[in-house]
Amino acid sequence: MRIFSSEGIVINKLRYLESDLIITLFMKGEGKIKAIVKGGVNSRKRFPGAFEIGNTGEFGLVDKNHYQLMHVSHARIDNYLITLKKDYGKIVLLFYMAGITDALLSEHHTHPLLYDNLLYTLNHLNQNGDEPAASETQAAASSQLLDRVRLFYELHLLRETGILPALDKCETCGTPLSGGPMYFVIKTGKFVCGSCRSAAADTVLIPAAIVQLAHAVTARETGIHAFLDTHVPHAVFNATTQLMGNYIERPLKIWRMIDTLQP
């Protein structure tokens, strides 16, 4: 039997039987882990609000054997993301980031850099003010901000899981793409040059600024603020969604909700 504690983020939860919860934690030292919380549904003293998605803190786990789910022994929450959870758009983005993280990560594979990045992204959203938008212009600006934060985390997740290609040459003919236009082929999921694009039916132009940010993410040279001044066309998310969709068995329901945030 193994007993241990590690800092983590709640990325999923579901009710099990009458009073138990099965939660999914993204832990810095352990990776993605599923665990059962006995009496977690009705507990008000041991686990008061501890297992809401996005909560971060220290979680204690008991691993009895490899054939059963681990049991949660204690939880000490450091951040409930109170400010973030007052904003509908941020809540949707929170559930979206948690959902794609859960869908793309394998259990017990550690990703400490991605963990730090998700924590950093959530803290950024939580520290940003929660005043309601007073006009359509402000609402559109808020939506664009969420788009940029979304792309920031998506690129880091795709890089960490090995899904994001190098973006340095055409995946069809091998021509270097430095300085030239880059297109994403929706049907095949490839990034191609202008010449190979003519042979494909549905393509998405990837703006040069987005390519530069993707290279910076791959080299671990940029933070979230580099994204805040970059215009992100909605078509770019066709590419990231397609890339993730190639590795996710069933479409995520949250994908339909995240698209409603577009200005």
Tokens in use for 218?
A: 């791959």
Which alpha helices (DSSP H) does the chain contain, by range? 88-104, 112-127, 136-160, 194-197, 208-218, 234-245, 254-258
Query: By C-alpha distance, which of 167, 164, 84 is closest to 123?
Result: 84
Tokens in use for 243?
A: 């890339």
Domain coverage including residue 108? 87-165+206-261
CATH code where residue 56 lies: 2.40.50.140
One domain, residues 111 and 152: yes
Residue 255: the pLDDT is 85
Average pLDDT estimate for 239-260 = 86
One domain, residues 109 and 149: yes
Rg of the chain, C-alpha, whole Å: 20
One domain, residues 107 and 219: yes
Query: Hey, what amino acid is at 52?
Result: E
One domain, residues 94 and 148: yes
One domain, residues 31 and 160: no
Cβ count near 113 (within 10 Å) = 13
| 8 A C-beta contact, residue 179 and residue 172 | no
Angular region, 12: left φ>0, alpha ψ -120 to 50, beta rest: beta
Does residue 250 sit in helix, strand or coil? coil
pLDDT-derived band at 86 (thresholds 50, 70, 90) equals very high
Residue 201: the pLDDT is 75
One domain, residues 66 and 95: no
One domain, residues 240 and 159: yes
**Any idea which residue has 């909700």 for tokens?**
257
The mean pLDDT of the chain is: 89
Residue 178 lies in a domain: no
Handedness of CA 23, 29, 32, 33 (dihedral sign): negative
The pTM for the full model equals 0.91
How far is CA 46 from its chain centroid?
29
User: 33, 63, 79: which is the final residue of a domain?
Assistant: 79
pLDDT exceeds cutoff 80 at 39: yes
One domain, residues 157 and 232: yes
**Any idea which residue has 């090995």 for tokens?**
162
Cα(47)–Cα(50) distance, integer angstroms: 5
Query: By C-alpha distance, which of 137, 145, 142, 89 is closest to 260?
Result: 89
What are the angstrom distances between the C-alpha of 250 and each of 234, 246, 263? 22, 10, 27
Query: pLDDT tens digits, residue range 94-139?
Result: 999 999 999 999 999 999 999 999 999 999 999 865 455 445 566 6
Query: Hey, what amino acid is at 164?
Result: L
